[in-house]
Structure 1
Amino acid sequence: MTHPLLVRLATSRAVLRVAPHVLPRCDLFIHRLTRGRLLPTRLVLDTIVLGTTGHRSGTPRATPLAAHRAADGTWLVVGSNFGRSHHPAWSTNLLHHPHATVTAQGRSWQVSARRLTGHEKEQQRNRILLAVPFYDAYDTYAARAGRDIRVFRLTPITAPPADRPAQA
């Protein structure tokens, strides 16, 4: 369980105005600078860089996300978008182009994404709570968003190369 002060901070309106704009940019800058070896947010929670294809532009997009990796090798990612009223762009990209890339700890995997149904989300609630920053914030984000939060299971298609680090 996360300290209540961190949950309160993570769900405060002031932080939620700034965090969606600052945190991903800082993460990606450091991630690129260290050639995929360091992701600052990973110091606080399990984080990946999700590589998607823009659904309109067709250009590659990279987004740092909190994720939970299961023993079977799949990841769960939650489109809470910091509790904002619109879905995150990466989730729309996955709906249109379900093949993506996950980069974590200097390695990359090709993955196939599938959106969970409402019933599957209920079955996976404990895993979803592990995939959301500051676990206790999920319900706050869901209530604030006022929409059905998209949750995706990312299943690896390929194993990461053993001899070279990931480039994102």
Structure 2
Amino acid sequence: MPSESDRTAKNPPRWFVLLAWYAHRALYRVTRGRIGLWTPKDAAHWGTMRLTATGRRSGRARSVLLGYFEDGPNLVTLAMNGWSDGEPAWWLNLREHPDATVELKDGARAVRARIAEGAERARLWKRWGERMDDLDAHAALRSTETAVVVLEPRT
């Protein structure tokens, strides 16, 4: 029997990841937001939010559903692109236009995005690891470091 350190992460096929994303968004849209968002249940589970940012090229509002957890007043997510290489479009948009809005199960709020660095990144990465099996193994499949994105409340 392999030990935990011997396990290697395996991503599902890209077509499956895309299908899951499309199905989640369709369910959210068809139910007009009644299904598709949830709050983190406890320290071992993440929630989902709808992030709306300004497109870096189009200037139009672009929305995506993302996993998150709360860190005090901040929301924390990973720019992981389904564990594939490359940065997700929503993260590229936020780097260009960091002001955005998020819709949570309990309402909307205005946020400003930034990348976590140093000790803060290590702490938040560890907290993600409590919510996701094999986080480090999945991250190792990417050729670049996965950004830990902090969404701070803005007034």
Task: Give the TM-score band, short-chain normalised.
Answer: 0.7 to 0.9
Aligned residues: 146
Counterpart-to-counterpart distance in 1, 2:46 and 2:118:
25
The AA in structure 1 aligned to 2:90 is: W
TM-score normalised by structure 1 residue count: 0.75
Counterpart-to-counterpart distance in 2, 1:40 and 1:122:
27
Counterpart-to-counterpart distance in 2, 1:94 and 1:40:
21
Deviation, 1:35, is 2.0
Asked if structure 2 preserves the Cα contact closer than 8 Å seen for 1:80 and 1:141, the reply is no
Q: How large is the Cα RMSD of the aligned pairs?
A: 2.6
Deviation, 1:120, is 2.1
Q: Verify: 1:36 aligned to 2:37, yes or no.
A: no
- Give the number of the structure whose residues are more often strand, by fraction: 2
The AA in structure 1 aligned to 2:64 is: T
Q: CA 1:18 to 1:40, structure 2 compared with 1: closer, same or farther past 3 Å? A: farther
Counterpart-to-counterpart distance in 1, 2:110 and 2:80:
23
Q: Which runs of 5+ in 1 are unaligned?
A: 159-168
- Give the number of the structure whose residues are more often helix, by fraction: 1
1:143 corresponding residue in structure 2? 140
Query: Which one has more relative contact order, counting CA pairs under 8 Å at least 6 apart?
Result: 1
For residues 110-149 of structure 1, what are the structure 2 equivalents within 5 Å? 110-130=110-130, 135-149=132-146
Question: Which has the higher mean CA deviation after the structures are superposed, 90-99 or 78-87?
Answer: 78-87
Q: Verify: 1:59 aligned to 2:56, yes or no.
A: no
Counterpart-to-counterpart distance in 2, 1:45 and 1:150:
17
Deviation, 1:41, is 8.0
Deviation, 1:20, is 3.0
SS of the aligned residue for 1:127 comes to: helix
Q: Which runs of 5+ in 2 are unaligned?
A: none
Deviation, 1:87, is 0.9
